[in-house]
Amino acid sequence: MTLLRPLIADVDAELREVPLVADDGVALGLTRFRRGPSDRSVLLVHGLTTSTDMFVMPEHDNLVESLLDAGWGDVWSVDWRGSFRLPYNTDARGFNVDDVALYDLPAALAAVRRHNGGRPVAVIAHCVGALALSMTIAAKLAGPLAGVVANSTFLTPNLSEQSRLKLSLLPAVLDRILPEGYIPMDLAQVGLLSRRGALFALAAAGSSCKDPTCQMISFAWGSTLGVGADAGGSALYEHRNLHPATHARLRELFGPAPLSFYPHLRKMASERAVVRCDVADARYDRLPRSALDTLDDWDTPLLFVNGVLNRVWTGSLALCHGYLADRHPDIDVTLIEIPGYGHQDIFIGRAAALDVFPRMISWLDERAPGRP
């Protein structure tokens, strides 16, 4: 019996769920989309608490369809352990970026190669998925890659001072009022008069949006306790970029946020580098202390995609691009800024297929011409 929640998708392609188990025994999700034989394989990696759903939005042209239409005929998407389609975000045992980097992504990439004849794989990764991927590559666990498109952040996570302060203070408070170990995103599931329902009231403070899930998304990942009109109603996206149907079903796209992730993200933001959570934990000794320590022989081309209005990992990719250009000028790295876009709407925006995806695909085409 699968643990995966069914996809909410309408894609003109053969869709197959491929069984996938990480090396530590955790069952994951891996979905393949095909329109026939193809020499070009690409793996999509979602962010924390989202899922493959963000790549197959049925209300408008989506990333999977855009890739297939452009001749990338072998599209895969991994639902790693932070996926909303899986139950682990509400598991009291918890996990962090190291688990994803060491166990989940290597397993997914290996599975794709078992099916594509061992050819190099391109990867498009978002947010925490991109952070984990940078560590997977740094640890030499990714295998040959045709290129990586990273949205919002990569090797050098950077937050605003407000976000850094919130990340330092908020988890201790939440640990007291959320013994379950996660931030809920769906008010209907917890009830307005419940203890966790009071958290939604706090998230609503100052918000110009009336949707409880939208408010809670900003509370969990934004820089302030409320949202604030100056943020356009959300820390993660520009409201004007979302299709009304997307905004109406946010609770289907964003799941509970596990508190176990916050200490690791806080450590990385403090060091402005993707680092191990606990260097004393021997289970993760295959990972370097810092992903920045192993860049001398890095041979994976990189495209950084950042929304100009990104209010989550503020300036993270510009910082990384500058660092690589200065310290490792031989690395093939390109940074593009997308006007009018924020963090998540790069993928779930209703016009992303016109404004964003062609730039990603054009870059991939140059590095993996192959046979469609």
220 and 113 in a single domain? The answer is: no
Of 2-6, 29-33, 49-53, 274-278, the one with minimum mean pLDDT is 2-6
> Taking Cα atoms as reference points, which of 122, 147, 149 lies closest to residue 301?
147
Within-domain flag for 68: yes
Residue 364, pLDDT above cutoff 60: yes
Are 246 and 302 within one domain? no
269 part of a folded domain:
no
Contact 270, 164 (CB under 8 A): yes
Residue 272 inside a domain? The answer is: no
Whether 250 and 237 share a structural domain:
yes
Checking if the pLDDT of 274 tops 60, the result is yes
Domain holding 356, by residue range, is: 14-159+277-367
Is the pLDDT at 45 greater than 80? The verdict is yes
- pLDDT for residue 272: 96
Q: Please check whether residues 257 and 180 belong to one and the same domain.
A: yes
The last residue of a domain, from among 261, 288, 313: 261
Mean pLDDT (whole number) for 133-144: 97
pLDDT at 227 over 60: no
| DSSP letters spanning 287-314 | S-SBGGGG-TT----EEEEEETT--SST
Assess contact for 223 and 166: CB atoms under 8 A. yes
Q: What sign does the CA torsion over 283, 289, 290, 296 have? A: negative
Final residue of a structural domain among 195, 226, 261: 261
Residues 148, 28, single domain; the answer is: yes
Question: Could you give the CA distance from residue 38 to residue 119 in angstroms, rounded to a whole number?
Answer: 11
pLDDT of residue 10: 82
pLDDT in tens, 140-178: 999 999 999 999 999 999 987 777 777 777 777 787 778
Residues 224 and 250 in one domain: yes
287 and 213 within one domain: no
CA gap 332, 144 in Å, rounded: 15
Mean pLDDT of the chain: 91
Rg of the chain (C-alpha set): 19
User: Domain for residue 93, yes or no?
Assistant: yes
Residues 287-334 have pLDDT tens digits of 999 999 999 999 999 999 999 999 999 999 999 999 999 999 999 999
Burial class (CB in 10 A: 0-12, 13-18, 19+), 263: middle
Q: Do 149 and 177 fall within a single domain?
A: no
Q: Is a pLDDT exceeding 80 seen at residue 192?
A: no
DSSP strand pairing (145-151 vs 182-183): unpaired
Dist. CA 40–CA 181, nearest whole Å:
40
Q: Are residues 281 and 147 in the same domain?
A: yes
Question: Which of the listed residues 261, 290, 310 is the one where a domain comes to its end?
Answer: 261
247 shares a domain with 346 = no
pLDDT band per the 50, 70, 90 thresholds, residue 68: very high
Confirm whether 226 is domain-assigned: yes
Q: Minimum mean pLDDT among 223-237, 279-293, 339-353, 357-371: which range? A: 223-237
Task: Please state the pTM of the whole predicted model.
Answer: 0.95
- Answer whether residue 235 shows pLDDT above 50: yes
Across the range 49-69, mean pLDDT stands at 97
pLDDT of residue 372: 55
CATH number at residue 107: 3.40.50.1820
Instruction: Give percent of the chain with pLDDT exceeding 70.
Output: 95
Phi, psi of 32 (to 5 degrees): -115, 135
- Do 155 and 166 fall within a single domain? no
Residue 3 lies in a domain: no
- Per-residue pLDDT band for 93 (boundaries 50, 70, 90) equals confident
Whether residues 238 and 128 fall in one domain: no
In a domain, 266, yes or no: no
Q: Which residues partner with 333 through β-bridges?
A: 302
Residue partners of 285: CB distance under 8 A and separation at least 6 = none
Residue 306 counted as domain residue = yes
Determine the average pLDDT of the residues in 120-133.
Answer: 98
**Predicted confidence (pLDDT) at residue 369 exceeds the cutoff of 80:** no
How many domains does the structure of the chain reveal?
A: 2
Query: What pLDDT shows up at residue 224?
Result: 54
